[in-house]
Amino acid sequence: MKRPTFFPFVFKALGCAFLCFSQMPVFGQLPLASGDRRQALLNEPIDLSEDFRNFANTSFLADELVSFDPATGRGMLRWQRGGYKTRQAINNMLAFVREAEGNEFPGGENEVQPVLPFSVEFVTPRPVRLRVMTGTVVDSGEESLMLAQGVPGRDTSWRYSALEGRHRFPNAGGSVVIRKKPWRVEFYKPDGKLISKTNHLSDNNVTYTSVLPFGFVRRSSDYFRSVAAVFSLSPGEKIYGMGEHLKALNKRGQTVVLGGDDANGVMNETMHKPIPFYLSSNGYGLFCIPSDDLLVPLTLRRSGGKFRLSDDPCRGKIRWRVIPAASRIR
């Protein structure tokens, strides 16, 4: 009996289809940036996340509130020195940030775990302003161009209460809790439900996935510093904003690099109007004011929200403003 010829015909047809397809021009978008800074183009967006992945760089992780004055909202924050270490399981290798020793000579002349200024300011009954320093700061006393009155206001509706191991500031709109060790800043709704909190190294012990804690990285080539302001996201939480970005409206799970560029249409990832502000479906917003006018990359992943900021190595000043939304987004 003669064998059916159906399958040979299908294979031949597919082979012809592949052959014809291979003769057609294939178009694809070039990468947003080179990745190799020696091949960077003029005004090309710079993704600072590479600094956080470089094993030669040194990390400093927010670890302990050394001192704090509730009357002024100012204190000193100790940063734990860290570095990348690897762990291998069969054919899979993972990298983690872990505590590290100092590498400067002479050893006693430099702080292994630097203690730097930190402050929290209650501007109105809603906004809360966080500031951390990554180096020596010389305050010029100049007014900020990012504030309507030049200087932040001071609202008296936030009451202070001292609790064991933490400072609490409640008002009608919610509460802010600052934990001493491990250092965390937590934001709560009036009903006590957690809105978001900063991420500490110890928070990541429950997962094998490498999660970057709240901290900053010092680049080995020039000691330039970049901040990773890592805040938690709730399951199902959605993130909107960041300016004109022509990808999915919900930015969670995306990597958004904020840098002004001519988008040249809608078929790319560049931004013509970057705005360092996002609004959460969990009822709050976050606005970042960097210490300089460089780009502000933002990364939002499923495991948490991460700000990665360019920092001025001279002034070493980064500010955030957490703004609870007036109503929950549906």
Helix (H, G, I), strand (E, B) or coil at 12: helix
Query: If you average pLDDT over every residue of the chain, what do you get?
Result: 76
List the beta strands (DSSP E) in 268-316: 274-280, 284-290, 296-301, 304-310
Q: Assess if residue 300 is contained within a domain.
A: yes
Q: Assess if residue 121 is contained within a domain.
A: yes
Where in the sequence is the domain holding 202, given as residue range(s)? 38-138+172-324
Q: Does 253 have pLDDT greater than 90?
A: no
Dist CA 182 CA 65 (whole Å): 8
Residue 231 near residue 224, CB atoms below 8 Å: no
What CATH number does the domain containing 244 carry?
Answer: 2.60.40.1760
Dist CA 257 CA 295 (whole Å): 8
pTM assigned to the model: 0.78
Structural domains in the chain (count): 1
Q: Assess if residue 24 is contained within a domain.
A: no
* pLDDT value at residue 34: 62
Between vectors from CA 142 to CA 139 and to CA 148, what angle results, nearest 5°? 130
Residue 119 belongs to what H/E stretch?
A: strand 115-122
Q: For 302, phi and psi rounded to 5 degrees?
A: -65, -30
Q: Assess if residue 181 is contained within a domain.
A: yes
128 or 42, which is more confident? 128
Q: Assess if residue 205 is contained within a domain.
A: yes
Q: What tokens appear for 92 in the block?
A: 């899979």
Q: Assess if residue 110 is contained within a domain.
A: yes
Dist CA 45 CA 40 (whole Å): 9
192 or 302, which is more confident? 192
The type of residue at 205 is: N
Dist CA 305 CA 326 (whole Å): 21
* pLDDT value at residue 3: 43
Residues 194-216: tens digit of each pLDDT: 999 999 999 887 777 778 899 99
Closest C-alpha to 46, from 25, 32, 28, 30: 32
Residues 274-286: tens digit of each pLDDT: 888 899 999 899 8
Helix (H, G, I), strand (E, B) or coil at 58: strand
